[in-house]
Amino acid sequence: PKTLYDYDRIMKAVFSSWHTKAVTDMTKDVIERKHKKIGEESGPAYANLAMKFLRSLFNFAIGKYEDAKGQSFILENPVKRLSQTRAWYRVEKRRREIKSNDLQTWYETVSNLSNDSLKDYLILLLFTGLRKQEALKLEWDHVDLSNKTLTITDTKNRIPLTLPLPDFTFELLKKRNDSRDTDAQFVFPGQGKTSHLVEPREAVKKVRKLSNIEFSLHDLRRTFITNAESLDIPHYALKQLVNHKQGNDVTAGYVISDPERLRKPMERIETHLLRLCRKDTAKVINIK
């Protein structure tokens, strides 16, 4: 959904004057000038995003539209000019996370939110590393309290993810389950047409203001991953926990993803985070 939103926004905001132009009129020079202009007016990151979208459109058109002889109407993707001339803007990847020394303040601030759904949503993101939409759309049908797991069926890479629930996250979801309406579909219900929580923007702003800690929802995922990595969680286990593709790693293709094999790593991460957030004294047990 976010990608579709970005594409639609770029078409309307950046390329609105090009809607009636023939793609064959969009030369390399035209593309290069447009990229530079967007960068000057809207910023380097947005300029790159717009051109990556345009590159995708050209690639699709090259493969889709042919003449009677089966030849593409477009001989070459003009956006390649930006790579050939190294004209892409250098944009540093965001690496922000909540520092270990700030986690207690952040956690206490979130715990004092009056809205239980927003409070539990933010805490679940930190303790599971789920993406924003994955947690927002989490359904009770995909939470197995008997086996202490949750499953995300609609993931970014289209690979379903089943996570084990250690004690703390299990109790959080169990408490929500005990108090929910019997016909509730979503773990974090909302009042709109989606029936689930859609945008916790105001809650994030409030926590930022009260805690004086800058963070985004995706920063909570980075915080989870950073803390997991600091515990020397095995590489394949960490990749599976956050549902990252294994790339061209041949060995990874033979590793079976079993939630029970991930339970011990998940328990270690949770214990570690609780020590930082609540100053719990339980020791983080090494995996033998």
DSSP state of 163: E
Give yes or no for residue 147 having a pLDDT over 60: yes
Q: In this predicted structure, what is the pLDDT of residue 247?
A: 58
The residues that bridge with 161 in the sheet, in sequence order, are 152
Give the whole-angstrom CA distance, residue 172 versus residue 48: 41
- Mean pLDDT value of segment 247-263: 65
> For the chain, what is the mean pLDDT?
89
Q: In this predicted structure, what is the pLDDT of residue 254?
A: 47
Q: Is-contact 231 269, C-beta < 8 A?
A: yes
What's the gap between Cα 63 and its chain centre?
30
Give yes or no for residue 257 having a pLDDT over 70: no
Q: In this predicted structure, what is the pLDDT of residue 288?
A: 52
C-alpha closest to that of 134 among 20, 36, 1: 1
Q: Is-contact 140 184, C-beta < 8 A?
A: yes
Q: Report residue 6 as tokens.
A: 């970005």
| Torsion angle of C-alpha atoms 117, 194, 161, 97, degrees rounded to 10 | -50
Q: In which element (H, E) is residue 50 found? A: helix 44-64
Q: In this predicted structure, what is the pLDDT of residue 209?
A: 96
Give yes or no for residue 244 having a pLDDT over 90: no
DSSP state of 142: G
Enumerate residues 6+ apart whose C-beta is below 8 A from 218. Answer: 131, 132
Instruction: Give the β-pairing of 149-152 and 161-164.
Output: antiparallel
Q: In this predicted structure, what is the pLDDT of residue 143?
A: 96
- Mean pLDDT value of segment 10-29: 90
Give yes or no for residue 258 having a pLDDT over 90: no
Measured from the Cβ of residue 280, the count of other Cβ atoms closer than 10 Å reads 14
Q: Report residue 31 as tokens.
A: 């593309």
Give the whole-angstrom CA distance, residue 259 versus residue 225: 18
When pLDDT is cut at 50, 70 and 90, the band that residue 280 belongs to is: confident
- Mean pLDDT value of segment 114-126: 96
Please tell me the least confidently modeled range out of 23-32, 79-88, 130-139, 154-163. 154-163
Q: In this predicted structure, what is the pLDDT of residue 77?
A: 94
- Mean pLDDT value of segment 203-216: 95
C-alpha closest to that of 32 among 82, 89, 91, 103: 82
Q: pLDDT for 62-75, tens place per residue? A: 999 888 888 888 88
Q: In this predicted structure, what is the pLDDT of residue 250?
A: 46
Higher per-residue confidence, 240 vs 252: 240
Please tell me the least confidently modeled range out of 25-39, 241-255, 271-285. 241-255
Give yes or no for residue 231 having a pLDDT over 90: yes
Give yes or no for residue 95 having a pLDDT over 80: no
- Mean pLDDT value of segment 49-64: 92
Give the whole-angstrom CA distance, residue 222 versus residue 275: 18
Q: Is-contact 265 237, C-beta < 8 A?
A: yes
